[in-house]
Amino acid sequence: MPDIRKVRKEAEELVRALDWEVYQNWAGLKPELNTSAIYAQHPDLLKREVLDDLKARRAAATEDAERRLRYLHAYLTSAFLANEVRELTDRHDTEEAKREVVVGHHIHPFRLSEVRMVNEDDRGTRAAIYEARNRAIDQINEISLVRWRRLHALAKELGYRDYAALFSNLKGIDFAQLDTLMTRLVDRTEKVYAERLERYLKPLDLSLKQAEKHDVAYVFRGKAWDPEFKKERAVATLKSTLLDLGFDLDTQANITIDAEERPNKSPRAFCVPAHVPRKVLLVVMPHGGHDDYATILHEAGHAEHYANAAADLPFEYKYLGDNSVTEGMAFALEYITLAPEWLADKVGLKETREFLDLAYTYKAYFLRRYAGKLRYEMQLHTKGLEGMAATYRRELERTLKFKHPREHYLEDLDDGFYAAQYLRAWILEAQMSQALREMFGDAWFREKEAGRFLKGIWAHGQKFTADELAKEFGYPGLDIDPLLKQVEEHLSAS
């Protein structure tokens, strides 16, 4: 029988080593991703007998002990799968980091090409970058296809009906029930979402049916507001926003901001819980626009969540658990950028209506996009990979109303049904933000007392699930009505 103390210690070492490796690759510090070498250092941890032992211990344990074992079992099962496809994962991410796309006389690093595409005013040039990226994605898909075939087979080897059943069990999420909730939101926002997006495409002389993904990305880029959302001010605005809540990034020694520009650095901000709560990395590379500010605040929500976790928490509550929780905390800070008071105070935007019209359409787009992704993934992970490029296109075009390329069917996909975690996080954030407004006022983000309240929640790390936290805000569990009400009110206001 494996020594549970040794399993926990080694699992923490594995989590931290993998996070550090991913940080170096995504931050553009090294072109290769080499998780294979890390997994090779833990051969005894990633064995079926360890998973079987944890499953048996769970059945015999109660309360806190069962919760910790459940989180550990879920993580090590995911790690077992990742270890089995480690070489394919490394090949995929290394290929992304090294690959370049050529458009005319210009050579763009693959990762940076997305930023350049979205910033491009000329539709012909934007389309050329898009098509070059799609050709690259189609080639990278050859690696992804082999990888996903193996993951699907492994789920069955572990005794589950399919990959979907495995992760529904591990995460305790009923994907069909979540799909039903999101179908309500998609149906209720159908007409107003389409009308809004059609309106934003009109200045580009495009109808919704003519629009491509790069056109919609360009619309939501919202370049008209760049004078207010200066990239040079993004980090300073983040610091000022957190200071209002009582968090001083200049004196928080356990949070490090990596804002250096590098050619192969991921263009989107991300957070690395390198050693919770002692060392958390907030990685940013502002490139201009309102999305910079939203994304940086989102990742700062993760960073503060990890940095304020109690130092004496068990390993499982620092790093594992229901990731819908940390995503919910991240969304709570991200959507401060939709408050008129914040827009006036922090970016100098006095007339906010037009910006908020776009921003809430953008939020509706994301909610609908992830609803479509969930429905697609439920089919992909139960029926298999055959014909799924067409299924991806059909489901995403059904929910978003504009063209989607078949090439993105494996690129627009995260392991372990992470789309479901995001959806649950959006539901939790709407409940939490409503509670914060009721307790501290509409401008709760200016109140240090609100910061202390959040700090109290963050101290628990990820001990509690999103469903349990929702009860702390006065709900019987996750309830989509506050999110639905929020989106409907703002979309119908203009």
Which domain-ending residue is among 151, 171, 191? Answer: 171
240: closest CA among 347, 359, 352?
Answer: 347
One domain for residues 240 and 387: yes
In three-state form (DSSP H/G/I as H, E/B as E, the rest C), the secondary structure along 206-230 is CCCCCCCHHHHHHHHHCHHHCCCCC
Residues 248 and 293 grouped into a single domain:
yes
Domain count, the chain: 2
245 with 450: CB under 8 angstroms?
A: yes
Domain closes at, from 137, 153, 171 = 171
Note whether 164 and 179 are same-domain residues.
no
* pLDDT for 422: 97
| Same domain, residue pair 270 and 357 | yes
Shared-domain flag, residues 194 and 65: no
Q: Are 179 and 190 in contact (CB under 8 A)?
A: no
Encoded tokens for 203 = 């200045």
Reduce the DSSP state of residue 121 to 3 states and report it. Answer: coil
CATH number of the structural domain spanning residue 341: 1.10.1370.30
According to DSSP, residue 330 is labeled: H
Write out pLDDT tens, residues 223-244: 999 999 998 999 999 999 999 9
Distance, CA of 39 to CA of 18 (rounded, Å): 9
Domain boundary (171, 190, 210) is at 171
The low-confidence residues of the chain, meaning pLDDT below 50, are none
Are 229 and 139 part of one and the same domain?
A: no
| Half-sphere exposure in the Cβ direction for 387 (13 Å, CA) | 7
Quick check: 234 and 286 in contact, CB under 8 A?
yes
208 with 68, same domain: the answer is no
Q: In terms of residue numbers, what domain contains 123? A: 4-171
DSSP state of 158: T
Give the global pTM.
0.94
315 close to 338: Cβ distance less than 8 angstroms: no
Interior/surface letters 19-54, b for 16+ CB within 10 angstroms, e for the rest: bebbbbbbbbeeeebbbeebbeebeebbeeebbebb
For position 7, what pLDDT does the model report? 96
Q: Are 353 and 479 in a shared domain?
A: yes
Q: Using CA atoms, how far apart are residues 266 and 25, in angstroms rounded to an integer?
A: 9
Kind and range of the H or E element at 199? Answer: helix 175-201
Please tell me whether residue 249 adopts helix, strand or coil conformation.
coil
User: How far separated are the first and last CA of the chain, in Å rounded?
Assistant: 64
**Residues 267 and 331 placed together within one structural domain of the fold:** yes
Packed helices 234-244 and 290-307: angle between N→C axes, nearest 10 degrees: 50
The residue behind tokens 């001990």 is 463
Q: Helix 418-440 and helix 448-458: axis angle, to 10°?
A: 140
Q: How far are the Cα atoms of 14, 54, 91, 267, 285 from residue 26, in angstroms, in the given order?
A: 18, 32, 14, 9, 11
pLDDT of residue 481: 95
Task: Say whether both 156 and 286 belong to one domain.
Answer: no
Residue 283: its H or E element? strand 279-283
Judge if 179 and 167 occupy the same domain. Answer: no
In terms of DSSP H, where are the helices of 335-352?
Answer: 340-346
Q: In this structure, which amino acid lies at residue 485? A: K
Nearest CA-CA partner of 123 in 196, 199, 219, 193: 219
**Are 298 and 415 within one domain?**
yes
